[in-house]
Chains A and B, each alone.
Chain A
Amino acid sequence: MSGTFAPRPGAASLPRQVLAQARTEARLMLRNGEQLLLAVVIPVIVLVGAVAGSERVGLELDASAVDTFAPGVLALAVMSTAFTSLAIATGFERRYGVIKWLGSSPLPRSGLLAGKVLALLLVELLQLLVLGGTALALGWDPVVSGASVLGALLVGVLGTAAFAAIGLLVAGTLRAEATLAAANLVYLLLMAGGAVVLPASAYGGFGEVAQWLPSGALGEGMRAALVDGAVQVTSLVALGAWALVGTVLTARTFQWE
């Protein structure tokens, strides 16, 4: 058979499909005003506000304000992208049948997941550039060593995995609107009370609990790496456990439609 529509089917190679999926998702995430607000604007405001504010209220910190808050704000950025943005985006993908349609395309579900993870990492890289640049401009002086880079990287990756698993758990079970509300609410609660930007020690007794929350583990682990140059195993264990539990629950409950 010949002609314009003569069949010539075939899937693109899996890496090409995953890249295409990641590119589309990252582009849509960065184009969305609310997502951008969460990803960049709020963390920048928090960073500048915390540095300026802590000097006024005279918060007692082990390191300088910017050295303490910059790792926390990076942790906040991971949380906003891997949890809130991912949950909201995925919730609406379910609502609009995007995931359903992709289910009839050559892209396998593992490829869809890989594409989402890659898109998250791309956005996080951009966040790191913007937030890191802002922090440096404010006088940030992070510890740079093999251990600090390794620690920050491990905490970032495990934190992304933990929050992404929880985000998908929410997005895969609730309706899109409920996901939107829940993802924003949890983000605000954890930002305020989850030891992500402020060290767990600033919360008094609750700090003991907070450091085991995914937010606290992410924040504490990031601070341990970039303030003390240490790989904090307890944080990694906590994040790994959250990632594992979240993944198992998501795999059991996720509804594709």
Chain B
Amino acid sequence: MHDDHEPAVVVDALEMRYGAKRAVDGLSLTVARGSITAVLGPNGAGKTTTLETCEGYRRPQRGTVRVLGLDPQADRRALLPRIGVMLQSGGAWSGIRAEEMLRHAASLHAHPLPHELLVERLGLADCGRTPYRRLSGGQQQRLGLACALVGRPELVFVDEPTAGMDPQARRTTWELLEELRADGVTVVLTTHYMDEAERLADTIHIIDRGRLIATGSPVELTRGGSVSTIRLVVTSPFPPDAPQSLTAALGPGTTVTVLDALSLLVTGPADASTLARVSRWCEEQGVLPESLSLGTRTLEDVFLELTGRGLGDEPGSPDPQRDGALA
């Protein structure tokens, strides 16, 4: 039927604009069959637009997209039964009961999974008769995931699958996604949670401003977490030439990224001599260190180095990654 070595998704030089804004700007990436692939980036990076082009919602303005060897627009009818889609939000009638929605989704497929199984696995048993509008955000997400999986797809696209979930539900969802991979389902997920990408993904594509800025496994991207970081927080703003003067003071093999007016990140060997040089530099510059903390290199650091800014600045949603990332 298909060549198993052919990638599940091939995006080639994709460009998408909304008016003058380039949402996706020459993006190319592939997704290997049977893998979990994370598309990681801040809000507005072009993750959802890319996913929606793969799902056949949008026609590529430039470049091409192939999903399971098919054109998502021209071969829509052949493709859709083979994929499962979980939208970032919504997707169900406000008055429908959770179990009815799942049954409805099942009835559109030829060999659906028993809905009881998904209800149990996703912890939806105690809200099966609850109308969608009264489900919590996390329950709505889990129902959306169940509806994406019920048709036994070869490939699922999940957009921010654990946004709004409590830690317990996040773990359950992660385990489920790992089980999907074990059973031969290809999973493409977007996320702005570093820990999610790091824990789940075989391959991570980091996207910023519609462009692919890095690709690799979590270990490749963080270089095994061996490279250390030093985060410096000071009490009064740095001088304008701080990055240059600090880099000069530290010598080769280190990178300095200014996080904001009062904090910066040094990536490189975090040994005693580097620490000593950082404090001496503070003394020379007349800034008082408030804290100086060491950490291993995380995906968040990778992202900071590549883009010069942080991830997951979604207003009103606490980012679990922040806790302990650079402890």
Binding site for B on A (CB under 8 A): 1-13, 16-17, 20-21, 24, 27-28, 31-32, 92-93, 96-98, 100-101, 103-108
Contact = CB atoms under 8 A, between A and B. Distances in A.
Interface size class of B (residues with CB under 8 A): 35 or more
Given A9-B154, A96-B92, A98-B91, A106 B81 contact: yes
B169 to A, nearest CB: 19
A134 B104 CA distance: 34
Interface in B103-131: 104-105, 107-111, 113, 117
A108 B87 CA distance: 18
Contacts of A108: 77
B152 interface: yes
A242 to B, nearest CB: 28
B95 A31 contact: yes
Nearest to A99: B91
A105 B182 contact: no
A202 to B, nearest CB: 38
23 contacts: A3-B183, A5-B183, A5-B184, A5-B185, A7-B185, A9-B82, A9-B83, A9-B152, A9-B154, A10-B110, A12-B108, A16-B107, A28-B93, A28-B95, A93-B93, A96-B92, A96-B94, A100-B87, A101-B90, A104-B55, A104-B83, A105-B151, A106-B81
Which one of A16, A20, A96 has the greatest number of beta carbons of chain B within 10 Å? A96
Given A17-B107, A103-B57, A9 B90 contact: no
A107 B154 CA distance: 18
Contacts, number: 122
Contacts of B95: 28, 31-32
A11 B100 contact: no
Contacts of B185: 5-7
Question: Which 9 residue pairs spanning A and B have beta carbons closest together?
Answer: A97-B90, A1-B184, A10-B110, A3-B183, A101-B91, A20-B107, A104-B85, A11-B81, A5-B183
Interface of B: 55-57, 77, 80-83, 85, 87, 89-96, 100, 104-105, 107-111, 113, 117, 147, 149, 151-154, 179-180, 182-185
Given A2-B183, A100-B90, A12 B152 contact: no
A98 B110 contact: no
Given A8-B152, A11-B110, A104 B80 contact: yes
B87 A97 contact: yes
Contacts of B90: 96-98, 100-101
Contact of A20 (B77, B87, B104, B183): B104
A26 to B, nearest CB: 12
Contact of A100 (B57, B111, B180): B57
Contact of B152 (A7, A16, A31, A107): A7
A173 to B, nearest CB: 19
A245 to B, nearest CB: 28
Given A2-B183, A8-B111, A106-B80, A98 B92 contact: yes
A230 B128 CA distance: 51
Instruction: Give the residue among A7, A8, A17, A27 with the most B Cβ atoms within 10 A.
Output: A7
A106 B110 CA distance: 10
Contacts of B109: 9-12, 106
A6 B81 contact: no
Contacts of B179: 3-5
A107 B108 contact: yes
Given A7-B152, A9-B154, A100 B91 contact: yes
Contacts of A105: 80, 85, 105, 108, 151
A20 B56 contact: no
A34 B213 CA distance: 52
B93 A4 contact: no
A98 B92 CA distance: 5
B183 A97 contact: no
A103 B107 CA distance: 15
B152 A17 contact: no
A98 B104 contact: no
Contacts of A21: 104
B149 A101 contact: no
B96 A101 contact: no
A4 B118 CA distance: 10
B108 A5 contact: no
A1 B34 CA distance: 10
B33 to A, nearest CB: 10
B191 to A, nearest CB: 19
B93 A98 contact: yes
A8 B106 CA distance: 13
Contacts of A9: 81-83, 109-111, 151-154
